Structures are given as C-alpha cells and as structure tokens.
Structure 1
Amino acid sequence: MANATRNGPMMLHSTGSPCTLMVCRGCCCGTHRKHPAVDHDGHVAVLRKAAAESPGTLAVRTTDCLGPCERSNVIVVQPSTRGRLAGGRALWLGWALDDDLLDHVVAYARAGGPGLAELPPALDLHRTEPSRLAAATRGRRY
C-alpha cells in the first residue's frame, strides 16, 4: 500500500511501518552557509532513491530542526515496527556530511535498521544524542 506525503512517496510494508530516515533540514543542517562543500540536495536524493528502490521497507522524510545543530547534518534512523518490537530505538547520527556515510546509513536501513541489524562501526562513530531541548519541546520518545 502506498501513501503520499509532502516529501514524496512512502511505501508502507505489510508488517507495519518501515525503517524511516528523518533528515534534518532546519536552521543549520542542509545549508550551504554552514557546509558549503556538501551536496545537500544530492544527499537527500540518494536517500530517496534508496527508499524508492526498497520493497516498502525504507522511507525518507525531511524535517525541520531536530536540535543538535552543533552536530549537523543530523539524520535519525527510526526503527520499523518489527525493529521496535525487537527492542530497537531511534539512532541519532551527527556529522552526516559525506557520501560514504550515506552509503553506510542506506546499507544499515536496508538490513533492517535499529533492532534488526548490527550497527556498522562507521555509524557508531557518528552516533549522537538528541538535544534535551529538542526532546522536551517535542514531547517525544526518541
């Protein structure tokens, strides 16, 4: 079953929600002002292409500021329904600025993401925590 969102098509896997990549595009992330040498639009395109090629197991959404601006660019890998049931929790990644890191993010998400796949060492190096302010103002469990 397909759902359309403001960020493009999102496929919903028959066993629940897919692993979702939340890509920060707020005040600092995704801006040429802060990271002029990074192809921000190209990075989002790579992630969206991976989602479109998945069998409904991967989704990509862009969002406003997630908070830890000093660690931009930020991507949050949210577990699928199956991953959450297996104990997976959202993985916050900071300093997502190069193509190699995106390749690791895509491979990890394709393998199932949090709760279902082993975290590659390259992603472990980029692991970060949400800012307290972001968590408090959103009232969400990440």
Structure 2
Amino acid sequence: MTTTFALRAFGARPCTLVVCRGCCCGDARKNPGTDHAGQLARLHQASEASAGRFAVRTSDCLGPCGQANVIVVQPSAEGRRRGARAAWIGWALDEDAVEDVIRWAGSGGPGIAEPPAALTLQMIPPPSQARRRARR
C-alpha cells in the first residue's frame, strides 16, 4: 500500500510508524487471535487521514520476536530536534494498542506529545540496548 503525503517544508519529516511484519510479527500462527492484516490496514488508513502528521511503513523482522507484534514509533524531525529517540512498542496485538499508537503519532509522537499511559507499559528496549544489557 502506498501512502501519499501532504506537501511539507524540506526536511520536515513526520513521525513514522515502522510496523514489523517479519518472521513472527503479523504471523497468525504465533498470535492467532489478532487480525494482523486489519491492524496494518487501520494504521495505513489513519496515516492517510492524518494529512501528513505521520507515516506508516513496514519492515522485515526488527528483532524482538518474543514481544511480537512490534511497532517502532520514530520521532518527527522536530521531535528529534527536541532530543527524542525512537520508541519501541511490543505486544501490539489488540485494537486498543493500535489506537493508542495512532493517537500518539497523530499528536506528534516522541518529543512532541506524551504517549498514552497504557502504551508506556508496552515499551521495550531496542534490540541493541537489550544485547548490551545482556553482556553486563
């Protein structure tokens, strides 16, 4: 699915949702009670309705398979200027989690808006941070 964006000033990258759809995320055998295709369609629909406030793309395996489905919320250019880094969300398996991600991204995402409280409970460390902690 292709997403179109409203024209923005050069360098004004919006908040971007990177949705894992690799080996485990999006796999009905691993999480049979989740409408994986419906989730992805809902994210794309919300992005298109956001008038360029956030974008959605998919990626192959992002790494933390034990916490599938994973969505990475990347900050916008402005959020990054304010010091924000990508937020990794694990266990995004139900409509509530997807709606929380949409609401946060639509409000500006990392560095711009606070995430919904329930979503903060689903935040996981990026794989590189988890590997560094395991080596200690």
TM-score normalised to structure 1 length: 0.85
Structure 1 or 2: more strand by fraction: 1
Go from structure 1 to structure 2 and tell me whether the alpha carbon gap of 1:101 and 1:134 turns closer, same or farther (over 3 Å shift).
Answer: same
> Percent same amino acid among aligned pairs?
52
Amino acid at match of 2:41: A
In the TM superposition, structure 1's runs of 4+ consecutive aligned residues that sit over 4 Å from their partners are 133-136
Structure 1: which 5+ residue stretches go unaligned? 1-6, 137-142
Aligned 8 A contact 1:10 1:60 in 2: no
Match of 2:85 in 1: 89
CA shift, 1:37, in A, is: 1.0
Structure 2: which 5+ residue stretches go unaligned? none
Aligned 8 A contact 2:18 2:73 in 1: yes
Q: Deviations over 1:9-42 (max 9, x none)?
A: 2426524111100000000000011011110000
Separation in 2, partners of 1:67, 1:99: 22
User: Is 2:107 aligned against 1:99?
Assistant: no
Aligned 8 A contact 1:74 1:94 in 2: yes
CA shift, 1:131, in A, is: 1.5
Greater Cα shift, 17-26 or 7-16: 7-16
Match of 2:8 in 1: 14
Root-mean-square deviation (Å): 1.9
Aligned 8 A contact 1:11 1:56 in 2: yes
Match of 1:64 in 2: 60
What is the count of residue pairs matched by the alignment? 130
